[in-house]
Amino acid sequence: MDIPEWARRHSYLWHSNMKNKCRAKVFFDKCIVRPKVRKAWEVIKNPDTNPEDMEKAWAVIYRLDGGHNGSDNANMLCGRLTQSACDAILLEGKEPAEVIANTHAQYMKYVPRNWDGGIDAAKWTQYETELADVITNAVNGLREVMAGSPIFGETELYGALQGNALGHKNLPDYAGVGDLKTKWSTRNSRSKTGFATNNLPKDLSGRFDIANVHQVAGGWAINGKRPVWLLYANKSDYRILTQDNCDQLKPEYLEEVVKQIRLTNLITENQLKAARTTDELLGLVYPDWDNLGWQMPDGYVGEAKSIWSI
């Protein structure tokens, strides 16, 4: 579908899940960070780039590129590695023991954050003890939830929700309808290890779990409203949530969520249309600096604060 000029001028090319996110952070990422990072990589890959421009481009990458600025964290790393391991076992037919060993080797290459007071480093140490069990439980859960159906991995769903001009993008992890969510132990000062098991949800009413409902609801709406599922796995077990055992995944609930998503998208589109420049667009919002999305390295946050004159 064509992208309107009022969206292209801000480099805002599609909608995605906004639940629990700071709108200013979303605009900053899509309209400022991504274009700057993309341009910086173009400069770096150009063999004719002079040393001064090369140095400036790398400065942008080290400040804003999530793969190079130290913004990754142990939880996100573990989620990615678990899904990759499940893909290798279920989609490629590789031996679980071999996959888990290779995954552990990748895990050990990670360098924890150095700007959060050691929190990420402590998690990285703890999660090493959980990784194999979480992968095993995730594989067993995926086998159960996709039994009797074609098994395939991540796909891209894209289409405009009713009343929206821009498309909505969703990336289901499996079978076009399901997402894998991993749960890692949380810090607990009263535990001997300093961590306690992060229990599997019985429903999706919690603050963070409801964001996952919004995620699958967007895909549900543009994918023929096929029944969706969420699989949660931790070191102890797994739990499959579907419309048969979870109110938040029933069609009537998803319909209401989709209405919220459409209205949220419409507000975004009206702001994109109203702003003639990206500077004007950023002037229409103000960051909630306490939002979890702003837990980023100083260089990244500093660039954002320079825009909003902090």
pLDDT at residue number 144: 98
pLDDT, residue 80, reads 98
Instruction: Provide the strand spans (E) within 132-194.
Output: 157-159, 168-170, 178-182, 186-187
Size of the chain in residues? 310
What is the per-residue pLDDT for 189?
84
With a CB cutoff of 8 Å and minimum separation 6, the contacts of 240 are 141, 144, 145, 229, 230, 231
Alpha-carbon gap, residue 224 to 306, rounded angstroms: 44
Secondary structure of residue 179 in the 3-state scheme: strand
How confident is the model at residue 94, as a pLDDT?
98
DSSP-derived 3-state class of residue 180: strand
Token representation of residue 7: 């969206």
**What pLDDT does 310 receive?**
60
User: What are phi and psi for residue 109, nearest 5 degrees?
Assistant: -85, -10
Q: DSSP string of 60-99?
A: HHHHH-TTTSS---HHHHHHHHHHHHHIIIIIS---HHHH
* pLDDT for 42: 98
pLDDT tens per residue, range 191-208: 888 999 999 999 999 989
Residue 261's pLDDT is 98
DSSP sequence for 212-243: HHHHHHHHHHHTTT---EEEEE-SS-EEEE-T
Which two structure tokens, joined as six digits, stand for 188?
A: 């607990």
What are the Cα distances from residue 283, in Å, to 5, 19, 148, 216, 279?
A: 19, 21, 52, 31, 6
Low-confidence ranges of the chain (pLDDT < 70): 310
Which pLDDT score, from 0 to 100, does residue 237 have? 98
Three-state SS across 264-305? HHHHHHHHHHHCCCHHHHHCCCCCCCCCHHHCCCHHHHHHHH
Q: Retrieve residue 293's tokens.
A: 């999305």
Decide if 291 contacts 23 (C-beta within 8 A): no
Judge whether 157 and 219 are in contact, CB under 8 Å: yes
At residue 309, the pLDDT reads 83
